[in-house]
Structure formats: C-alpha cells, structure tokens
Chain A
Amino acid sequence: MLHTVNKSPFERNALDACLTRAVKGSAILLFEDAVYAATKDASTAQRVSNAAKDCKMYVLGPDLLARGFTVGQVLDGITVVGYDGFVDLVAEHGTVNAWL
C-alpha cells in the first residue's frame, strides 16, 4: 500500500496518524506541505527517520524545491522522486491511502 501525506507535521497530525498505522514494508510519500517532515534539521527528524527503517519513504522533489529546500537537506533513508516517480509509486502499489 502507498500512503500519502500532504500536510505540515507542525500544523496537523496527519503525519503521525500515518506513521503509527502504516504497516511494515509500506511505502509513504510526503508531498506538498508534508515535505517539511523530510528535512534533516526539523524537530520531526527522529520520528521520520525511525519510520524510514520500517517503511520505504519518498518525498516529492518539486514541492521540496518550491519551499526552499535542497535534495541535500533531505533525511537519509528518504528517496526524492519527481512527478513521474509519484505515478510509478501509485501504479506499483495499487491501493493509495491519502492521509488528509
């Protein structure tokens, strides 16, 4: 299953709602305002790094760059993908669970 999160972890609890319910081996894509959760220096880093040990985590590059962050500022263990990668993830996983 592919889980998607698009809300800032500082404003909503969608990220935690997702991280606490995604089973091991799931894929999780962070996009729009959720890309902040993928950045190294944010206070959410430890939580997200831990999740990346059990799930395959991705962040949408265009949304990251739009918000002033570079690929180098992304946490280890998170893969940066483009829109084509987003489509591939959806096609590959079939069921999408969008945590709004």
Chain B
Amino acid sequence: MPGIDEPDSESGVIKKFMFVNRKAPYGTIYALEVLEMVLISAAFEQDVHLAFVDDGVYQIKKGQDTKSIEMKSFLPTYRALEGYDVEKLYVEKESLDERGLTADDLVVPVEVIDRSAMAELINSMDVVLSG
C-alpha cells in the first residue's frame, strides 16, 4: 500500500519534465506558479529540467531585494532546488545577451546554451509546461 509520501513509486514511471520560464518575477504570478509545479514534480521524483528564456532569465538575477515592495523573494527557493535534486537548469544565451546579463549575474549554477540547443532540448522532453 503506497503511502502519501511515495505517490508514484508504485508505477515507477519517470518522465522528463521541462518547465520553461519566460516571465520576469514579481510583475506577474507566473514565476511563482512555475516554482510550485517544479517542487511538486520533484516530490513525485520526476526528471525535472528548468529552462530560462526571454524575461525568465530575470527570475534568477542576483541581488533581488524585495523588502520595499513587501513581496517574498524568489531567490531562496531557487537556491534550495538543489536539495530537491533539481539541478538541470538551462539558460538561453541570446536572452542573457539581450538583457546585458551573463552567467555571473545569476544566483544558481546553470548551463548556458544557445537558442538552437534550447530548441532541441525542449523537443527531447516528455512533458513541457510553460509560464
């Protein structure tokens, strides 16, 4: 009898999940909602991948100080993903370049790949959820 802590271990199906982050943080609720889905997928022991493209790269920009807008910062959650074995993070180079950012500006270790590699990576997934 599977307990509530091991919902998918009975069937043993592990799919490649890709969460495509395309929105800047704070201005909309998308970034937060995707993070929730990521954590749930990790709890179900799925093969979780995160992509950051377009304004999504702003989600993991270092130095976010949200005290004065009275919202919770995303950065501690991103830093904690490693603890959930979510370590496959990919950032699109073209999106960084357009915004004047580099991998050094990001709060977590990521793999920077170009747009065509990102397209191939997304194409290789079983489940793709975008936000």
Contacts and interface: CB of A to CB of B under 8 A. Distances in A.
How big is chain B's contact interface, by range?
20 to 34
Contacts of B64: 65-68
A42 B63 contact: no
Given A10-B55, A66-B65, A33 B24 contact: yes
Interface in A14-65: 32-33, 36, 39-43, 45, 61-63, 65
A10 B62 contact: no
A11 interface: yes
Contact of B100 (A11, A33, A41, A62): A41
Interface stretch (B11-19, B32-40, B66-74, B117-125): B66-74
Contacts of B65: 65-66, 68
Interface of A is mostly: loop
Interface in B79-131: 98-101, 105
Contact of B23 (A11, A68, A82): A11
A39 B100 contact: yes
Contacts of A69: 61, 63
A6 B24 CA distance: 12
B26 A32 contact: yes
A6 B27 CA distance: 8
B68 A66 contact: yes
A100 B102 CA distance: 29
Contacts of A39: 99-100
A65 B62 CA distance: 11
A71 to B, nearest CB: 12
Max chain A Cβ within 10 angstroms of own Cβ: one of B64, B98, B100, B105: B100
A70 interface: yes
A41 B101 contact: yes
A15 to B, nearest CB: 13
Interface of A: 6-8, 10-11, 32-33, 36, 39-43, 45, 61-63, 65-70, 82
Given A10-B98, A41-B100, A66-B26, 20 more contacts: A8-B27, A10-B99, A11-B24, A11-B54, A33-B24, A33-B26, A36-B55, A39-B100, A40-B100, A42-B100, A45-B100, A62-B69, A65-B65, A66-B65, A66-B68, A67-B26, A67-B58, A68-B62, A68-B63, A68-B65
